[in-house]
Structures are given as C-alpha cells and as structure tokens.
Amino acid sequence: MRIAVVAVGQAGGKIADALLRYERDSEVDFVVDAVAVNTARADLLGLREVPPGNRVLIGGDRVKGHGAGADNELGAELARDDIGEVRDAVDAIPTSDVDAFLVVAGLGGGTGSGGAPVIASEIRRIYEEPVFALGVLPARDEGGIYTLNAARSLKTVVDHADATLLFDNGAHRETGESLAGGYSRVNETIARRIGVLCSAGEATDPTPEKVVDASEIINTLGRSGGVASIGYASTPLDRKRGLFGGFKPVSEDALESTTRVTATVRRAALGNLTLPCELRDVERALVVVSGPPETLSRKGVEDGRAWLEEATGTPEVRDGDYPLRDTDHLAALVLLGGVTEAPRLRELRAAAVEAQRNVAAIAERANLSAGVWDTEGLDPLF
Ligand code: GDP
C-alpha cells in the first residue's frame, strides 16, 4: 500500500523521519511523499529525512514559530487558520500514486493533538483516497493535561479520519528508560510495523504466494471511524552465510516451518500490540508473515489465520506473505481493525472527564481508571 504521510507536530515529524529511514533501509518504495506541519520552527529544522521543501510552518503570525505549547485548542485554531498552506503542500504530492493518506501525530501535546483532526478532515473533504490517522497516546505518568488533550483529540480524530491506528507510548517504554531516550527506539518500532504492513504488497522479488494488497489493508482498517492496533513478533532463524556473504537457504522439515509460523503469529497477536486489547474485542484482522521464502509455510499461515478467527470470533480475517531473501528472522504482523474496547481507552476517557470537570486538579488526575469509552461527558475539540 502506497501512502502519503502528513506529519503534524513534533512526534509526528519524528515518526515521519523514522518511516522514511525504514523505507530507505528496506529498499521498498511505499511512501509516495511526506509532508511535515508544525507551529514550532525548531522542530521542523530538526527533521532529517522529510525534505526541507515539504516542511510547513503554520501559525507564524500568531506564535512566531515558537509552538503551541500543550494547548491543543490553539493547535487546532492555527491549523484551521493556515489550512491553505497545508493544502498546497498536500496538493503537490502525486496522489494518482497514493492508496491512502496517513496523518501522524502525538495526541497528548498541542500542535499534533489539535492540528491532526483539522488536517485529516480537510484531506478527507478533498480526496477520495482513505485518510487514516496514526495517533500516539501519552504514557500514564505524563500528566493530566496530556491525558485530557489525548482524550479530546482522539474523540475528534475518530470522527474525521476513516480509521485511527493507535500507539500507546506507555505500553512500549522499557523499565528504567527515560522518555526522551525511549522515543527513537519507539519510533523505530512504529516505523517497522507500518513499514512491514505497507511494503508487504509492494515488493515483487521474490514473489509472494499470497499478496497483501492495499484494498485488504484498507478493508481491515475500515472506513467508519474505527480504532486499530498492530501486533508484531519475530523469531530468529539459524541461517548460515554462504561463500559470497549471502544467506544459504534454511533446510528443515515442513512441520518445523508450520509450527514456527503459527507460534510467531500467536505471539504477535497476544503480547505485543501497539494498543493492548483483547482479541475478542476486534471486528477484523489481517495477518502478514515475512521471512525467507522457504520458511513461509502456507499451512502455517493458514493455521495462524484459523487461530485468529477463533480468538477474535470473526470470520473477517485476511492473510498474506512477504518473502524476503536477506533476513535471518521470521516475522509476523497482525493488524486488528474495529477495536471496540481497550483498557487504555477506558482509562483515558475516565481520567480526562474527571480532569475536565476540575481543571485545577488536572495534574493529579492522570491515573484514574474506571468507566467505559463512550462519547458522553467529554467535549470534542470542534
Ligand atoms: P506537539 O509538537 O505540540 O504536537 O507535541 P508533541 O508531538 O511533542 O506531543 C506530545 C506527546 O507526544 C507526548 O505524549 C509525548 O510523550 C509524545 N512524543 C513526543 N515526541 C515523541 C516521539 O518522538 N515519539 C513518540 N512515540 N512520542 C513522542
């Protein structure tokens, strides 16, 4: 699936950089172009991969390039005021090549949190291609204002994007790791997952037995404002290098390959989701298995899909493979679409409603958990 990336705010820009780096390293062309939008000049200047000509400073008249702080209402307002400039940058992307737009942002801050829903809504108004959002949720300890921002932004973005892929920063921080130190590793994780998903159907050599085409990804994400999560796991292979440095084929029996594939699919779906959720709370799924061609057991992929059908209770599970010659790992990616329930969403909403009720106590209220994720009691951004 070929995507046009529109990154908003600091986290958005850094994730766009990570995606472009992944694309270059994997040598598969799946990002048609990437645009970065920000109210902070320094953040735009700090980007490494997004071409300088594709960086759009908004709100310059009002905030003079100094950013929106953690004020997402201001972020939304600045995006609305300068939407013409964002539109011009997006219009310059050759969209005849684009299968979908991906609007990327951290939902807890100001510019991305407020700007992403405005920009997603505008792109959706103009283009026929689906507009998906990739939203980063703040970790629990980031504070009440981030929680409230993320909850309001999420409530707004799900209404304005075809589907929203979520990534919970809190679920991916390693023990003892600092927030800043963890970001580049976390961004690589996000880039690998989006990268494998999008490049699976674009690579042509070796040819997949069952291609994951763009429409299968789009149908799994859905176009009715749902939430999605991605799981990923890899298993090392015992591969030897040949005389000229390339890997020799893996020699093993069929049962070994089948078992490895199904075990990797289960690990991807059970323990390693961008937004942790129960499998029974999803409406659709897609599984992609990648690795050296001789290890991609078709029976293993089919067994993995059958297991996912049972675990999710839905027959709408798609599958495909992505053969790669030069790797010593077998990997499985599981895309879960139409997530109806997740502990982090419940927590976010409850904490944010509480914080909104008592703005003075915002900082202390970040860790409340209870209630159900619904649309009552929390104001959208617009
Ligand atoms: P903005 O520039 O005003 O949109 O604010 P940020 O993009 O910095 O958004 C703040 C939120 O994004 C917080 O929840 C941060 O933890 C998170 N964040 C900031 N930078 C990164 C990053 O590089 N990667 C990830 N995954 N999260 C980030």
pLDDT tens digits for 131-151? 999 999 999 888 888 999 999
Same domain as 360, residue 260: no
Same domain as 193, residue 245: no
Pocket of ligand 1 (CB under 6 A): 9-11, 14, 68, 106, 108-113, 136, 138, 142, 146, 169, 183, 186-187
pLDDT on residue 370: 34
Same domain as 299, residue 180: no
- State which of 10, 111, 165 you would mutate to test the pocket of ligand 1, scoring each by most atoms of that ligand within 8 A of its C-beta: 10
Nearest CA to ligand 1 atom 9: 109
Residues 303-345: pLDDT tens digits? 999 999 999 999 999 999 999 988 999 999 999 999 999 999 9
Same domain as 277, residue 144: no
Same domain as 93, residue 19: yes
- State which of 173, 183, 188, 274 you would mutate to test the pocket of ligand 1, scoring each by most atoms of that ligand within 8 A of its C-beta: 183
Task: Estimate to the nearest angstrom the gap between the alpha carbon of 237 and the chain centroid.
Answer: 27
Q: Residue 135 C-alpha to ligand 1 middle, in angstroms?
A: 10
Look at residues 90, 81, 74, 35 and name the one whose alpha carbon lies nearest to residue 58: 81
Same domain as 18, residue 94: yes
pLDDT on residue 357: 73
Nearest CA to ligand 1 atom 18: 11
Tell whether 205 is covered by a domain.
no
- State which of 8, 169, 186, 192 you would mutate to test the pocket of ligand 1, scoring each by most atoms of that ligand within 8 A of its C-beta: 169
Q: What domain range is 354 assigned to?
A: 3-199+345-365
Look at residues 232, 221, 195 and name the one whose alpha carbon lies nearest to residue 316: 221
Same domain as 128, residue 101: yes
Residue found under tokens 């049972």: 310
Look at residues 57, 56, 65 and name the one whose alpha carbon lies nearest to residue 33: 56
CA distances 190 to 142, 304, 324, Å, are 20, 23, 20
Cα dihedral angle (338, 340, 341, 346), rounded to 10 degrees?
110
User: Starting from the edge strand earliest in sequence, which strands make up the sheet with 226-236, in order?
Assistant: 55-57, 31-38, 3-8, 100-106, 131-137, 163-168, 226-236, 329-337, 284-291, 317-323
Pairing of strands 284-291, 329-337: antiparallel
Residues 161-220: pLDDT tens digits? 999 999 999 988 776 666 666 899 999 999 999 999 999 989 878 899 999 999 999 999
> CA-CA distance, 160 to 162, in Å (whole number)?
7
Nearest CA to ligand 1 atom 20: 11
Tell whether 61 is covered by a domain.
yes
Tell whether 372 is covered by a domain.
no
> CA-CA distance, 136 to 108, in Å (whole number)?
8
Pairing of strands 329-337, 226-236: antiparallel
**Whole-model pTM?**
0.93
Beta strands in the chain (DSSP E): 3-8, 31-38, 55-57, 100-106, 131-137, 163-168, 226-236, 284-291, 317-323, 329-337
Same domain as 249, residue 189: no
Same domain as 307, residue 271: yes
